[in-house]
Structure 1
Amino acid sequence: MTMKRVWNFSAGPAALPVEVLEEASGNVVCAENFGMSIMEMSHRSKGWVEIQEETKQSLSTLLSLPDTHDILFLQGGATSQFAMVPSVVEIFDGLA
């Protein structure tokens, strides 16, 4: 039986192709060459650091980011990110 996919017009998260979901679901059980799920890995483990660095490099290439820029993985969504703005503005106040 084939599951009927619905159209998603919400602000996010976006709908993903079934092939992407299938690959991700496999990594939930056992990530490639790591012998455990990505959800079981310590964020300090060699495996997780490898995944994070590969992800940063892939994103950097995809976005054509210059070496002067970096990619940050932040939790909390836009609410937390907007809450950080005063800290950043204070650091760079008067430099622009």
Structure 2
Amino acid sequence: MSEKVFNFAAGPAVLPITVLEKAKNEMSDWHGSGMSVMEMSHRGKAFGEIFSEAKERLKKLLSVPDS
């Protein structure tokens, strides 16, 4: 399929090509770590940093207080 398909359903949304390209590039080498997120130990430092950042961003997005 050579044409871009647009999904107007209530579920998954169309992502900008820049987002897809960044995800593609980071898939095999997360921030120069030499491995993808899917290969990292969930107990490792790199994944811990990803988790902490995601948690903080979600808290900020949803205005969740620290307490």
> Into which bin does the TM-score normalised by the smaller protein fall?
0.7 to 0.9
Q: Distance in 1 between matches of 2:9 and 2:40?
A: 31
Q: Which has the higher contact order (CA 8 A, sep 6+)?
A: 2
Q: Distance in 1 between matches of 2:44 and 2:11?
A: 30
Which residue of structure 1 aligns with residue 46 of structure 2?
47
Provide the alpha-carbon RMSD of the alignment: 1.6
In structure 1, the gaps of 5 or more residues are 69-96
Query: In 1, are the aligned partners of 2:28 and 2:34 still within 8 Å (CA)?
Result: no
Aligned residues: 66
More helix by share: 2
Q: Which runs of 4+ in 1 moved over 6 A?
A: none
Percent identity over paired residues: 50
In structure 2, the gaps of 5 or more residues are none
**Larger Rg: 1 or 2?**
1
